[in-house]
Structure 1
Amino acid sequence: MYFSKKDLHFQLFENLQVTELGRLPYFQDHDRETFQMVLDSAEQIATQSLRPHLTDMDRNEPQLVDGKIHVHPAMGDIIRQFAEGGWINATFSYDEGGQQLPSVMHMAAGFIFQSANYSASVYPFLTTGAANLIRTFGSQTLKETFIPNMLSGKWQGTMALTEPDAGSSLADIRTTAHPTDRPGVYKIKGQKIYISCGDHDACENVIHLMLAKIPGAPLGVKGISLFVVPQKRVPSGEGNDVLTEGIYHKMGYKGAPIAHLMIGSQDGCEGYLVGEPHQGLAYMFQMMNEARIGVGMNAVAIGTAAYYASLDYAKERPQGRKLGEKDLSQPQVPIIKHADVKRMLLFQKAITEGALNLILYCSQLADIAHAGAGNDAEEAALLLDLLTPIAKSYPSEMCCLTTSAAVQVLGGAGYTRDFPVEQYYREARIHPIHEGTTGIHGMDLLGRKVLMKEGMALRLLSKAIVETIHSAEKQEKLRPFSQSLQRYLEKAGALTQHLVAKAPKDPEVFLADASLYLEYLGILVVAWRWLAMGITATESLERENGQSDFLYGKLAAMRYFYEYELVKMDGLGKRLSSLDQVTVEMRQEWF
């Protein structure tokens, strides 16, 4: 078992009530039946095509041979299966050959794929993001030239941002794009590193969505443009002077190749401008913001798979006896009987299920922002903007800890390759780095999102949390949790005002602990989502006359989060309120 179908259905259909999206004209053809078909189809592909190759893809990682990256032989069939099933463009409109599937259901299906085999799931959804950029901002010629073969699975899509001297600092990219005598066609020259699926033999061509600067462009990010740069020219199929210089051998996530690309080293690389010059970063942020929510889901999926692996082991592994049991003639008990093991399992359950709910909620906001109208759509977009750095970073950081707990549950066995948790532990570590480091997202949250529109997004979040608190107060058993969340919400509001007051005085001091603020607000938000699930679970338990181990487990996980995780805001709040600025004042020479 690598995910819980019952929990996913509870979150989607009972707690988030995603079928309500069918009331929006864009999604009116979808209902519970179509959504169920999506989930069933995803599970079938995950179980039959992805899961069987999980270990083999990790042990037999891609190799660069004679300038070409060779990947697992199953990937060609897997990519085609995704293409034939319409997964790559499922969220596109009917006119564009898509299914107008809500993002929340596409994300839920992705969760199933990623839980089964994260590496294998990456290829098609990278193409989704790249094709979506061309679809949204590209000319009709670019759309007709590139999108059909990307959606068919013949061509891989990527986004190519990072360079040796420009990681998070995209203002410093050096890749250049020189105009030619053909409108919209440029000569591209530079190099890109850490490009996921940037070259492989499971497809016929790789289409890079690449950032570069046109000579004479404004300095910094305002001078970045976006280009389509195919590995092979279309339609001739001849090389486009995009060479694979190297492949990175990673600690995890090994089934998907990460390439180092040299572009235009023979002055023969052609790129095609997407949209207007100097608007590239704004365009790319569409893909990046979608990808950031996706990275959070990737982390949750891996954490979830690790949780269920450790849970299965804990149920079967006999070790010791209950404290106080002195009769050694009695059989040993399964380790799940021990309170400390239950603590580690509850930690995993509380984090992964709470974070999953947050990401599905964010995806639902994206659907409302896209297909809704008026004030509802505007508020959904604003709230999503605020929650995006949390939805990306909190699961990414915390699932490093939950997968570590999974290894700990197995003890020495967890540290061996005989069990999958050591692979999950390695694979989880990329997500605090992918699509912007935690530090970048902390500064984005505190330095931009909290302040935007004079704090409107934060007020919308507070309003939503208060509404949940008021609903919980109607249930006597939930009042202690609603009251606790109310107290921490008030503390968070006061602390945020205290921090924002520093902003104009000293930006460095203001943002020095932005990562801690991100963690602080992340705990509050996930506690809110747990209270929302607690309301649903309590109401469902009443309907079932108190006969449901699943619902009791839900409420126990909520209790755990409030007892063990929410209280961490106290320590973080104390640090964030402190006047001691040791990280700012520390000198390089003192290390």
Structure 2
Amino acid sequence: MAIKCFSRDHLRFVLYEVLGMEDVTAHEYFRAHGRETFDMILDAAAELAEEYLQPAYVPADREEPQLVDGQVKVHPLVHRFYHAYAESGLMAATFPLQWDGQQLPRTIAASVQYILSSANNSFVMFTDLVKGVANVLLQFGNEEQKSFYLPKLLSGQWAATMCLTESQAGSSLSDITTTAIPAGEGLYHIRGQKIFISAGDQDITENIVHLVLARIEGAPAGVKGISLFIVPKKRQDEAGTLVLNGVESIGIYHKMGQKATPAMHLEFGGAGTCVGYLLGEANRGLQYMFQLMNSARLEVGLAGVSVASLAYATSLQYARERVQGRRANAKDPNTPPVPIIQHPDVRRMLLIQKAITEGTLALILQCYKYLDLLKVVEESQKQHYLDLLELLTPVAKTYGSEEGNRSVYQALQVLGGYGYTTDFPVEQMARDARIFPVYEGTTGIQSIALLGRQIPQNHAQAVDLWSEQVMPDIRIANESEALQPYADQLNQSIAAWKSVTGLLLRVREEKGNEAFLADATLYMQLFGILNVAWQWLRMGTVAEKALAGGEAAGEKKPFYRSKIHTMKFYFTHELTRCKVLCEQLTTEEGLSLFNPEEDILI
């Protein structure tokens, strides 16, 4: 069955009516754009999704990449998409004009990403990595590096990856052992291995630019001694010819999902000289890489929402078409069966999906708007938006990935036994979505970053910073008689969160970090729910105003009513979870702490 992968109406509602994205075009940097260009770009993305991505979703999953004689061969349909994407200009769209970019707002680019990922989340990883690496080069590369690499990357001629993880280190990047040996004239010989490198090898482009974390010989131990290197798969010799650079594909991991994108085991300098070029200053590599990782974290959260949107659209259409059973009040066995969308429990599962996908998309696009504002606001305001981004990035990544998984599970449940078969694509979505809570730092790592770093810094200033964003929206909602109970509910939940936060900070002072961070994932759940409830209150306020003002006429009226109904559902079924989470976070038993005198995990 043909499925629409996402709701165009909801996306435009968030962009224009909730976020007010047309406002950013008043700034000089974005002045070439307006709603007309935004819509044209979104339409172009929808066409790419329909022509190149959606038809390839299942075939590329069935025919995985193969490692043949040291070279990875990916599905031919990946080639078609990659080249079409590059030719569309979307690869360079957010970059400055001097690099043939369009200076497109990141929020609109993220919307393009959402459209494409909802059609095929695996293919877009190839292009995402190129843009991420190009951004790091733009910010930290010298003029020679930018002039050499950026045109090749942004045109799609060359691809790129980031190489962080090693088998013995995992997420503990301070323990990496890949070594960079000075070789004169700013060159280094790179030796080591990296694992789980997404799109680490392919046969689409003539070259791949790897950004590799390594430790220069003699550098300090820990994160202070890590540098970042540009390591191309092929380097130019003195004649300008591309020659192999000692980067070998020694293994390909077989994943449960996202199979169209190869996850590689790469070796640098194992069977030949591998030359790397220092990016930026020595021993600041992790700081530079965080630029790429934080951007990637938003993209991972967005990918989780994208797959969940496809799963919601699939299960919604199935529920409308699948006839089974009768309404619970039907007494006559001869009453005709009804579409399962009429059954309350099916509607509950569909509403969970709608509430999660639409609310989380609004939150993530809010984060991207902060990125756009960083480009254009006065210098004195930049720290404000930077602090908000640092606070909300782990939340957007975690809520999008974890709740995206939960949403896909609900879709599978709506399809029942069919959802568990390859006859329908929801089982593939469930496999694809499972990786997102692991990508770019697991849920546990993101939660510790939120509670352990973002919340306590500057005397817990982040609590007030976030509240200043939310309280005006609560006050506006309070002006509506229909929305006042929901504004009050969110206000009370925020007060409880602040109280819990204060208590946990006292635990940190009295008992140390281990007790303080023991239930950081629960704190992340609590804060994630509050953020999405905030977005739903904003959307409900816009919808209520449209209905009250008579702007929602004809076909628009059900759309706005749907927003208010879903807001009520989220507050009733999700925001109420905050009370239990607060109780769990304030218990003093420390049930997950390690006790060396008694190991109960036996």
Please classify the TM superposition score into its range, dividing by the shorter chain length.
Answer: over 0.9
CA–CA distance in structure 2, aligned partners of residues 551 and 216 of structure 1: 62
1:41 is matched with which residue? Answer: 44
Q: Secondary structure at the match of 2:192?
A: strand
Q: Secondary structure at the match of 2:446?
A: helix
CA–CA distance in structure 2, aligned partners of residues 585 and 549 of structure 1: 53
Kindly state the Cα deviation for residue 171 of structure 1 after the two structures are TM-superposed. 0.1
Task: Give structure 1 stretches of 5+ with no counterpart.
Answer: none
- Alignment partner of 1:533 is 2:506: no
CA–CA distance in structure 2, aligned partners of residues 290 and 375 of structure 1: 23
CA–CA distance in structure 1, aligned partners of residues 502 and 380 of structure 2: 26
2:302 is matched with which residue? Answer: 297
- Alignment partner of 1:186 is 2:195: no
Kindly state the Cα deviation for residue 501 of structure 1 after the two structures are TM-superposed. 1.1
2:235 is matched with which residue? Answer: 233
CA–CA distance in structure 2, aligned partners of residues 280 and 569 of structure 1: 39
- Is the deviation greater in 286-295 or in 227-236? 227-236
Residue among 398, 406, 415 paired with 1:401: 406
CA–CA distance in structure 1, aligned partners of residues 560 and 432 of structure 2: 30
Asked whether the 8 Å contact 2:552–2:560 carries over to 1, the reply is: no
Residue among 320, 336, 343 paired with 2:341: 336
One-letter amino acid of the structure 2 residue matched with residue 33 of structure 1: E
1:565 is matched with which residue? Answer: 574
Task: Give structure 2 stretches of 5+ with no counterpart.
Answer: none
1:519 is matched with which residue? Answer: 525
One-letter amino acid of the structure 2 residue matched with residue 46 of structure 1: A
Residue among 159, 162, 167 paired with 1:164: 167
Mapping 1:439-588, distance limit 5 Å: 439-505=444-510, 506-542=512-548, 543-544=550-551, 548-586=557-595, 588=599
CA–CA distance in structure 2, aligned partners of residues 22 and 230 of structure 1: 37
Superposed CA offset, 1:175-226 (max 9, x none):
00010122x2100000000001000011111110110000111111111000
Mapping 1:407-426, distance limit 5 Å: 407-426=412-431
Asked whether the 8 Å contact 1:138–1:275 carries over to 2, the reply is: yes
Q: Secondary structure at the match of 1:502?
A: helix
Kindly state the Cα deviation for residue 464 of structure 1 after the two structures are TM-superposed. 1.2
Kindly state the Cα deviation for residue 266 of structure 1 after the two structures are TM-superposed. 2.7
Give the structure-1-normalised TM-score: 0.98
Kindly state the Cα deviation for residue 139 of structure 1 after the two structures are TM-superposed. 1.4
One-letter amino acid of the structure 2 residue matched with residue 107 of structure 1: A
Q: Secondary structure at the match of 2:483?
A: helix
Q: Secondary structure at the match of 1:477?
A: coil
Kindly state the Cα deviation for residue 545 of structure 1 after the two structures are TM-superposed. 5.6
Asked whether the 8 Å contact 2:5–2:119 carries over to 1, the reply is: yes
Superposed CA offset, 1:101-128 (max 9, x none):
1100000000000001111111111100
CA–CA distance in structure 1, aligned partners of residues 523 and 492 of structure 2: 17
Residue among 217, 222, 227 paired with 1:215: 217
Q: Secondary structure at the match of 1:308?
A: helix
Kindly state the Cα deviation for residue 353 of structure 1 after the two structures are TM-superposed. 0.5
CA–CA distance in structure 2, aligned partners of residues 381 and 58 of structure 1: 38
- Alignment partner of 1:199 is 2:201: yes
CA–CA distance in structure 2, aligned partners of residues 61 and 244 of structure 1: 16
Closer, same or farther: CA 84–588 of 1 in aligned 2, 3 Å: farther
2:111 is matched with which residue? Answer: 108
One-letter amino acid of the structure 2 residue matched with residue 578 of structure 1: T
- Alignment partner of 1:310 is 2:319: no
CA–CA distance in structure 1, aligned partners of residues 462 and 514 of structure 2: 23
CA–CA distance in structure 2, aligned partners of residues 219 and 419 of structure 1: 51
- Alignment partner of 1:262 is 2:262: no
Asked whether the 8 Å contact 2:178–2:214 carries over to 1, the reply is: yes
Asked whether the 8 Å contact 2:312–2:408 carries over to 1, the reply is: yes
One-letter amino acid of the structure 1 residue matched with residue 542 of structure 2: T
CA–CA distance in structure 1, aligned partners of residues 594 and 212 of structure 2: 38
CA–CA distance in structure 2, aligned partners of residues 376 and 217 of structure 1: 37
One-letter amino acid of the structure 2 residue matched with residue 27 of structure 1: F
Superposed CA offset, 1:22-62 (max 9, x none):
12221111111111111011111111111110110111111
Number of residue pairs aligned between Structure 1 and Structure 2 = 590
1:90 is matched with which residue? Answer: 93
Asked whether the 8 Å contact 2:94–2:101 carries over to 1, the reply is: yes
One-letter amino acid of the structure 2 residue matched with residue 68 of structure 1: Q
2:158 is matched with which residue? Answer: 155
One-letter amino acid of the structure 2 residue matched with residue 335 of structure 1: I
CA–CA distance in structure 2, aligned partners of residues 295 and 572 of structure 1: 25
CA–CA distance in structure 1, aligned partners of residues 599 and 252 of structure 2: 33
How big is the alpha-carbon RMSD for the aligned residues of Structure 1 and Structure 2?
Answer: 1.2
Q: Structure 1 vs Structure 2: percent identity of aligned residues? A: 44
Q: Secondary structure at the match of 1:433?
A: coil
1:144 is matched with which residue? Answer: 147
Q: Secondary structure at the match of 2:330?
A: coil
Superposed CA offset, 1:524-579 (max 9, x none):
11101110111111111222367511111111111111001011111111110000
Q: Secondary structure at the match of 1:188?
A: strand
Residue among 50, 54, 76 paired with 1:51: 54
Asked whether the 8 Å contact 1:368–1:376 carries over to 2, the reply is: no
Give the structure-2-normalised TM-score: 0.96
- Is the deviation greater in 74-83 or in 555-564? 74-83
Residue among 123, 127, 136 paired with 1:133: 136
- Alignment partner of 1:8 is 2:32: no
Asked whether the 8 Å contact 1:189–1:267 carries over to 2, the reply is: no
Superposed CA offset, 1:374-404 (max 9, x none):
4433211111110011000011111111101
CA–CA distance in structure 2, aligned partners of residues 478 and 449 of structure 1: 31
Q: Secondary structure at the match of 1:33?
A: helix
CA–CA distance in structure 2, aligned partners of residues 420 and 475 of structure 1: 42
CA–CA distance in structure 2, aligned partners of residues 253 and 471 of structure 1: 43
Asked whether the 8 Å contact 1:442–1:517 carries over to 2, the reply is: yes
Asked whether the 8 Å contact 1:158–1:197 carries over to 2, the reply is: yes
Asked whether the 8 Å contact 1:527–1:566 carries over to 2, the reply is: yes
Asked whether the 8 Å contact 2:99–2:151 carries over to 1, the reply is: no
CA–CA distance in structure 2, aligned partners of residues 300 and 126 of structure 1: 19
CA–CA distance in structure 2, aligned partners of residues 144 and 528 of structure 1: 44
Asked whether the 8 Å contact 2:200–2:263 carries over to 1, the reply is: yes
CA–CA distance in structure 2, aligned partners of residues 353 and 152 of structure 1: 33
Q: Secondary structure at the match of 2:323?
A: coil
CA–CA distance in structure 2, aligned partners of residues 76 and 312 of structure 1: 31
Q: Secondary structure at the match of 1:187?
A: strand
- Alignment partner of 1:288 is 2:293: yes
One-letter amino acid of the structure 2 residue matched with residue 557 of structure 1: T
1:73 is matched with which residue? Answer: 76
Asked whether the 8 Å contact 2:87–2:155 carries over to 1, the reply is: yes
Asked whether the 8 Å contact 1:446–1:511 carries over to 2, the reply is: yes
Q: Secondary structure at the match of 1:191?
A: strand
Asked whether the 8 Å contact 1:386–1:458 carries over to 2, the reply is: no
Q: Kindly report structure 1 stretches of 4+ aligned residues shifted beyond 4 Å.
A: 586-589
CA–CA distance in structure 2, aligned partners of residues 520 and 24 of structure 1: 36
